[in-house]
Amino acid sequence: METVNPATGEVVDSYEEDSASDIDDALARAEDSFAEWRDVPLREREQLIEAAGDVLRDNEREYAELMTEEMGKPISQAHSEIQKCQWLCDHYAQHASEYLEAETHPSPPGTTVKTVYDPMGPVLAVMPWNFPFWQAMRFAVPYLAAGNVGLLKHASNVPGCALAIEEVFDKAGLPDGAFQTLLAGSEKIDDVLADDRVRAATLTGSGPAGRAVASTAGENLKKTVLELGGSDPFVVLDDADIDAAAETGAWARNQNGGQSCIAAKRFIVHEDVYDEFLDRFVEECEALTVGDPTEEDTDLGPQAQEHLMDDLHDQVEASVDAGATVVTGGEPLDRDGPFYPPTILTDVPEGCPADSEELFGPVASVYSVSDEDAAIAKANDTEFGLGASIWTEDRERGQRVARRIDAGCTYVNQLTKSDPRVPFGGVKNSGYGRELSEAGIKEFVNRKTVWIE
């Protein structure tokens, strides 16, 4: 397993993949560790989660630079990602006990009936490369706090990050085997998920990967949480603050090189403000700096891998061939590495890739619509349903529109984002289940009724 710095093309490191025997040993350790970890008092588990946050603080620069090296994230954004993981640890260290407090129910005189939240066992996580720390930590922290143990199968281009996350929990003082990284190819995951020692699975990734995991889990009667792709609408209504919408929209589309499931991808703009918004949006996108991801002032680094940029450009070219207009960008930059500029497409025909597929890179599709109802209809005209952003100066109108959009997360006058305090997840082909907050920590627990006569 070899990692390549996408900005330079240089080999970063090489790792030996886990054999079938290695994976079996890991599963045995997970099973043994669960027997110990589940009995650790919740308050003590919270303290160890807090300690994991301290490890992240102490090693922030090292972990940020590792991210930048392995997948090209601009260094300032890599620091922000590690800081968000620290916040995640702090949040569950403070609130896990509250989230998992037993609930009492009405019962006959002399009896006590309650629901308690017991852990399930080892949980397998299949995670992507785009937010290599955050995606894995937002799985691990709540599930570990609940008393489960974790097995991480990370993307093959970020094995260093995967091992570093295992190191975080080891340094924090969790028992051996409570959190383990499996350096294994995707072809081995079906057998891991089918193993009786694994009790549940979560995946963040593509639709086909999600279907494969859900299928195997279903055959083995194991619960799953899936966070899949997105083609999030960014709706600009006629009474929106255009400057704020354009500035936030440019960042919502282009942060992390546009490589985000919850990035704004389809900009749906009321015709009365379309020209004004488009002009400001182009200005904001063209002002972003594309360059060396190790430089603090870089906004967009390279795409994570050459073939990913090639796929993105194929989608752009197919959309242009179908009739879309390139307003800015639209061609790979003439430099070493897979660098793609912020790109804006207008006149996007229905059914072309920029309209119907997820574009996982810095490409925005901009539409003009006649009214609020048309904006909602276009926002919902997608197989995906992860997030949405609505812009209006009328908060009641924003809430009304937000309720009519088919998505797991809707934000008014704000970009779509994940936050430890609120549930995160999608509907339709964007998956099911929720991560984060109380909803997330309770996804993989046994909601056990205890009746005491």
Find the catalytic residue in 81, 166, 227, 358. Answer: 227
161 noted as active-site residue: no
How far apart (Å, rounded) are the C-alpha atoms in residues 248 and 158? Answer: 29
User: Using H for helix, E for strand and C for coil, what is the string for 290-339?
Assistant: ECCCCCCCCCECCCCCHHHHHHHHHHHHHHHHCCCEEEECCCCCCCCCCC
Give, to the nearest 10 degrees, the angle between helix 372-379 and helix 395-404: 40
Find the catalytic residue in 261, 285, 352, 409. Answer: 261
How far apart (Å, rounded) are the C-alpha atoms in residues 270 and 371? Answer: 6
- 101 DSSP assignment: -
How far apart (Å, rounded) are the C-alpha atoms in residues 298 and 4? Answer: 20
Q: 182 with 153: CB under 8 angstroms?
A: yes
285 noted as active-site residue: no
Q: Which two tokens stand for residue 352?
A: 């072309």
Q: 359 with 353: CB under 8 angstroms?
A: yes
Give alpha helix (H) positions in 322-446. Answer: 353-356, 372-379, 395-404, 437-441
Strand partners, 204: 227
How far apart (Å, rounded) are the C-alpha atoms in residues 46 and 48? Answer: 5
How far apart (Å, rounded) are the C-alpha atoms in residues 365 and 376? Answer: 16
Helix (H) or strand (E) holding 275, with range, is helix 274-286
CA 376 from centroid of its chain's CA atoms: 25
Q: Is 382 helix (H, G, I), strand (E, B) or coil?
A: coil
Q: Which residues contact 38 (CB under 8 A, 6 or more apart)?
A: 118, 119, 147, 148
Q: Which two tokens stand for residue 310?
A: 């090639």
Among the listed residues 137, 121, 125, 266, the one whose alpha carbon sits nearest the alpha carbon of residue 198: 121
Q: Which two tokens stand for residue 294?
A: 């190790």
Q: 93 with 313: CB under 8 angstroms?
A: no
Name the residues annotated as catalytic: 227, 261
